[in-house]
Amino acid sequence: MSEMYRPSLHFSPKRGWMNDPNGMIKVDGVYHLFYQHDPDSTDHGPMHWGHARSTDLVTWEELPVALYPTELGTCFSGSAVETAKGEVRLFYTAHRRVDGEDYQVQCLVHADPTLTTYRLDERNPVLGNPGLVCFRDPKVLWHKRSGRWIMALTHGQSIGFYASEDLDSWTFQSSFGDRHGRHSDGPWECPDLFSISDDRGNEHWILLVGIGSGAYAEGSGTQYFVGHFDGTTFTNSNPAETTLWLDYGRDFYAAQSFFDRTGSAPTVVGWASNWQYARDTPTQSFRGVMSLPRTLSLVDTGSGLRLAQTLPHSVLSAFQSTSDQSTYRRELEVTLSVGQSAVITLFAERQPHFTITRVAANEISITVVRRQIAAAPAFAHTYRVSGAYPQKGPLRLELCVDRGLVEFATGDGLTWITQLFFPSASDGIEIVQG
C-alpha cells in the first residue's frame, strides 16, 4: 500500500522522511543529490543529510547517510562546491535549541572527489551566529568576476551575502530582500544564486528564495528575482513589488540548482511538498518526493525577462520508455476561441483537475482543483493561474504524471504547476475540449 504513491521517475528515499534538496553538485559526470532526511521516522525529526547519485537525472542510487547530527546540532539545509583543484566541500547549517530558541551556525565538511567519505572541519562553525534566530541554508557559489566564493544565507526575512577567498573565513557583504517580492510571517529560506545568459548573451543573476507560507497557491513556494550581482550586492532588475514564481503549484519548494564547475545551464530540483501538510501525507515507509529536474533558460517576454523550464532529454526518454501505466507524459495542443475551455480530468475521477480557459485573445486562465484527503485537512484547494495564449497556432500543454505527482506546464515552459495527489486509481486521463 505504501508503495502505491512512490513515483517511478522521481527520487524518493527508500524509507524515512525527506524535505529540501541539499548539496546538489555534478562532479566527474555524476549528479549528487543530498537531502534533508530523518532515516528513523517519517516525520521531520533530527535532520541528517541523505544522499543519492545519478548519471542521467532519472535513475537514482540511494547511498548511505552522509551527514549525522553532532554536538553543534542537527544538519539543516546547505550546498556543495568543487574547487579548481577538484576538492569537494559541503556547507550546512548546524541547528540546535538554546534557551528555548533556535540557534543556527554554518559548518564546513570536506568530501573526497567520489563523495563517499566526509570529514567535518575542526574549526566548525566556520561562520558563527551574529544574533539572528533564522540564520541558515548556506548556498555557496564561485563568483568569477570578483574571483571569490560567495555564500547566500537566510537572514530572517532577507538574504545575506558573505564572501571568502578560501572557503574558510567569511565576511558579510550585504543583504537583499526588504520590501522586495513576497514576504509572509516566516523567514526567507533556502536561497540559491546563479548566473544565466539571456538570448542575446547578456549575463543576469537569478536569486531563488523559498517562503514557507504565503506563497502563490498558499503555504510554501519558490519565488525568484532577476537582477545583477557584482560580488557584493544583489540588485533587482524589476520593481520591488514584482513577484515571480518558479512554480505556481502547491508542491515545489526549496528549489536548488546543481553546482557544476564545468558550467552548464542551471538545472533545478524542488521538494514536491508543502509545509502546510507535508507531515500528513498518506505514505507509510517513506514521506517526501523530489520534483523532476528542470533546466532553466531566460526568456524575453512582453513583461520582461522570465525563467522558462524544460525537462532534460534523459527525463523525456524515460517517460517514453516506461512500461508503468501510472507514469506518463502527454503533450497536448488545443485550439480555443475566447470563452472556450479544455478540461483535464485525471486518475479516472469524475471532476476535473485542470480547466484551461481562453479568457482573452492572448490570455488563458488555469483553474486548478484538488479535493480533500482525510489525512491532510489543508490539502484541498481551488486556485487560478494566468498564462498566455499564443499569437499564432494552438496552445501547447505538457503534463507529466508519475503515480500521484503531477507536473503541468504551458507557455513553452514559462508556467509550471506542480501538484501532489493521492488518488485511489493512478491511471486514467480524460481531456475534453469545448
Q: Catalytic amino acids?
A: 20
Q: Which is nearer to ligand FRU, 288 or 413 (CB)?
A: 288
Least Å distance between CB 61 and ligand FRU? 23
Question: Residue 373 carries which DSSP code?
Answer: B
User: Among 39, 43, 27, 102, which Cα is nearest to 67's?
Assistant: 39
> Cα(105)–Cα(170) distance, rounded to whole angstroms?
12
The Cβ-side half-sphere exposure at 398, using a 13 Å CA radius, reads 17
Least Å distance between CB 136 and ligand FRU? 5
Q: CA dist 131 to 74, 94, 100, 128, 134, Å? A: 19, 15, 15, 9, 9
Q: Which is nearer to ligand FRU, 176 or 275 (CB)?
A: 275
What are the residues binding ligand FRU (CB under 6 A)? 19-20, 36, 47, 76-77, 93, 136-137, 189-190, 254
Least Å distance between CB 105 and ligand FRU? 12
Least Å distance between CB 337 and ligand FRU? 43
User: Among 216, 246, 211, 243, which Cα is nearest to 368's?
Assistant: 216
8 Å CB contact between 210 and 233: no
Q: Which is nearer to ligand FRU, 186 or 428 (CB)?
A: 186
Q: Which is nearer to ligand FRU, 22 or 295 (CB)?
A: 22
Least Å distance between CB 268 and ligand FRU? 15
Q: Which is nearer to ligand FRU, 140 or 254 (CB)?
A: 254
Q: Which is nearer to ligand FRU, 254 or 308 (CB)?
A: 254
Q: Which residues pair with 153 in a beta bridge?
A: 160
> Cα(75)–Cα(73) distance, rounded to whole angstroms?
7
Output helix, strand, coil percentages for the chain, rounded to the nearest 5. 5, 55, 45
The Cβ-side half-sphere exposure at 338, using a 13 Å CA radius, reads 5
User: Among 36, 34, 76, 38, which Cα is nearest to 51's?
Assistant: 34
8 Å CB contact between 141 and 132: no
Least Å distance between CB 103 and ligand FRU? 13
Q: Which is nearer to ligand FRU, 18 or 141 (CB)?
A: 18
Q: Which three cell numbers stand for residue 152?
A: 547566500
Q: Where are the alpha helices (DSSP H) in 247-398?
A: 313-321
Least Å distance between CB 26 and ligand FRU? 22
Q: How would you class 26 by CB atoms within 10 Å of its CB: exposed for 0-12, middle for 13-18, buried for 19 or more?
A: buried
User: Among 177, 107, 179, which Cα is nearest to 137's?
Assistant: 107
Q: How would you class 102 by CB atoms within 10 Å of its CB: exposed for 0-12, middle for 13-18, buried for 19 or more?
A: middle
> Cα(366)–Cα(431) distance, rounded to whole angstroms?
14
Least Å distance between CB 47 and ligand FRU? 5
> Cα(139)–Cα(27) distance, rounded to whole angstroms?
17
Q: Which is nearer to ligand FRU, 76 or 194 (CB)?
A: 76
